[in-house]
Structure 1
Amino acid sequence: MSDDPMVEEFFSELNDKYYPQVMEGLEMLEGDDLAESIEILARPLHTIKGVTGFMPGFEPASHFTHKIEDFLKKVQAGEVEATSSNVVLLSRGVNMIFQVLEQLRDGIDDDEEQNEILDLIKEASSVGQDESQSVGAGVSVENRDGVTILRVKDPRVHLDTQFKPIMGAIMTVEPGDKILIDLTEVLTFGSTAWAAVASMGTTFKIAACNLTPDTKQTLYGWGFDATIAVYPDEDTYFTTQ
């Protein structure tokens, strides 16, 4: 693979550009500047994932980077608690991306350590959901000026049981009608939950209001604002309709 000009060009850019950016992010991560470090790490990881996905033979690196990027966003969104052990795991996973790339370039077939990291990420992602968190508090539904308003009651919306009530409420609305999702009581809204709601955005005219910085960051970070309009509050929504 090392004789491929595309591969050589990628690794040259990797070493000159992306590796320094990642190291900067990891240094900040170790210095407890979590939010800024994740912002710095997200850009090069997203690029590495995309480029390797189109490089023959490097698809495993794209898949692994995608898993690390997903874990990064879960920590950023609060879906996974930013404990010291999870931050170390995140750092280890990011470093492993470069090892995976080198192994693939050298033709080495050794995925034991990366599988270990993925298993630890899976375990870390499932920890911390106690019984009170796993039961969805539901949604209240009301109508204002022909708009169906869904007021979400869960402070954290990440699990199926927490966002399925939202989906169920959406399905009771006539296709093409307007829906406003009020997140006043919500602290964090996971990427999986946003994806489920966004998937309905081609059938219904969906907007959301009263988003916390965390819920807004997850929505914009994953590009779900393409089908979900965002308003600062309910009154602003109605004055602009």
Structure 2
Amino acid sequence: MEKIVLFLFLNVFSSLADVWCFFKISRVRSKKRQILFLCIANIFLGLLLSIGNIGVIFTNILETLLFVLYLRKNNTLEILFGSIILVCTLDLLVDIVSDMITQVMSFTLIGQLSLRFLLILMMIVAIKLGNGKIYNYLANQNNKIFVGILAYTYVSTVSISIIYIQSKSFTPLTLFFSLYILIQTIFAIFIYHEMTMVQEKLLNKKDQEKLPGFKIEVQH
């Protein structure tokens, strides 16, 4: 009974955390009834977690469709899609890391649930600290590129989950793909950040050249 209560609590907490993270990143303005509907729907979707690791993937896919289709009116698709797939990717990473540590440390079910709770808290803190930067990436003129990076990361993370489900354990192949995709993702985000910084400098330079004072200085 205690294990069931802990599982249900973690399910509710994780579902509400996903909704909070989504709105924190996307900054979408919604009515209270819309937020309430998403919270309730997300909690019910979380019940799919009870069927195992494959349930996490199904939950993520349905969660993405739910948020994008329900909030698509009067909202930017790139911001909606980018925000929810980032949250879903973090969900998958929480699941993968939790299973990996559990296998290494041989945790009990209660220990595993406690670990997931801790990882979800870490996800919330990360979003709390980095949501401003993420939103800027999703809202600027190059947002399609950033959403593409997020989509690639999500598909790659799903692939790792599928490999893990088939192998039933974290083999060297799973670990290799995990590290490979992680390095690729970090590199892609770094390149994107540098590209946006260069564009901002070029735009600032063009704006300065349009100023009258700048033209007079050049004539001298």
Asked if TM exceeds 0.5, the reply is no
Greater RCO between the two (CA within 8 Å, min separation 6)?
2
Q: Greater strand share, 1 or 2?
A: 1
State TM-score, norm by structure 1: 0.27
